[in-house]
Amino acid sequence: MGASLSSLTENESTANGRPGLGDIPENCVACVFMYLTPPEICNLARLNHAFRGAASSDSVWDSKLPSNYHHLLDVLPQRIYEGFSKKDIFAFLSRPVPFDDGNKEVWLDRISGRICMSISTKAMLITSGEDRRHWNWFPTEESRFHVVAYCQQVWWFEVSGSVKFPFPPDIYTLTFRVRLGKFYKRLGRRVCNFEHTHGWDLGPVQYELFTSDGQHAVSEYSLDDSDQDDTSANLKRGDWIEYKVGEFIVSRSDPATEVRFSMKQIDCTHSKGGLCIDSVSITPSDLKARRSKGVSKYQ
């Protein structure tokens, strides 16, 4: 059976004169590849010369790239991608492309070729964020930006930010990635410190987003009471959790869509603290739904 399969992948016909996979014209293979995902194309490219040639065709990879992929390239010096084929461009953009002084990243999902984005807390406005009595920054390998904001103690809590980008038409979900408690390593082990964690059980935190075309979404979560939401019932203090702010729809890339977002609890009747904020993510909604539902652990 192995010999039979091997003969089918050769460029010549099989011994009995019947055509094999190697006899299929490269342009026909390329037409089929347009309906497959990038990982499937890369796997099939190993079969024979015709499949490898089709898997390198610009027409195949042009169908996998978003229509305005050049906007992702615009944030980079041209010399970096000069001479790249469409396959090279897809492979390059499937890795995070930093912009805005490295505080934001955008990339293509490797399966669907759709745009995803992450925004560091460094790119956001934090009330009293410069006062080290209230806020600190500390490095961590658990963040894609290698640094997170830590709220030690505040009365007025508000974190906000914005991004303007020519998102391709799609439905997107915006989430905040946060965690109760501060963590550090001791003798190579991850140690939890909840010394300053307080106040989050006394009232919900409000999340909000606005878009430049008038869309608005708002949600509320109690950060220190996971039993209130079935989707987070198994989560405990110390887990990174993505809280869904809401969805917005992009119907056209031009003009670019501006998204403004915030996370706040401005009830000054009690202090709160002991909270880490990592980033905001913007992801096509059905991609997000496959990985998580509502509030989830960060993967």
Tell me the pLDDT tens digit for each residue of 20-51. 666 677 788 888 888 889 999 889 888 888 88
pLDDT: which is higher, 17 or 238:
238
What mean pLDDT is predicted for residues 130-159? 93
* pLDDT given at position 135: 95
pLDDT: which is higher, 261 or 199:
261
Can you tell me which residue has the tokens 């990174």?
Answer: 240
Give the pLDDT band (50/70/90) at residue 291: low
**From its phi and psi, is residue 246 left (phi > 0), alpha (psi between -120 and 50) or beta?**
left
Lowest-confidence segment of 43-47, 206-210, 285-289 by average pLDDT: 285-289
What mean pLDDT is predicted for residues 191-214? 90
Instruction: Please tell me what DSSP assigns to residue 185.
Output: E
| Half-sphere exposure of residue 96: CA atoms within 13 angstroms, side-chain side | 12
Which residues are CB-contacts of 131 (< 8 A; sequence separation ≥ 6)? none
* pLDDT given at position 289: 66
- Domains (ranges, CATH) in the chain? 2-62 (no CATH), 109-297 (2.60.120.260)
* pLDDT given at position 189: 77
Give the pLDDT band (50/70/90) at residue 187: confident
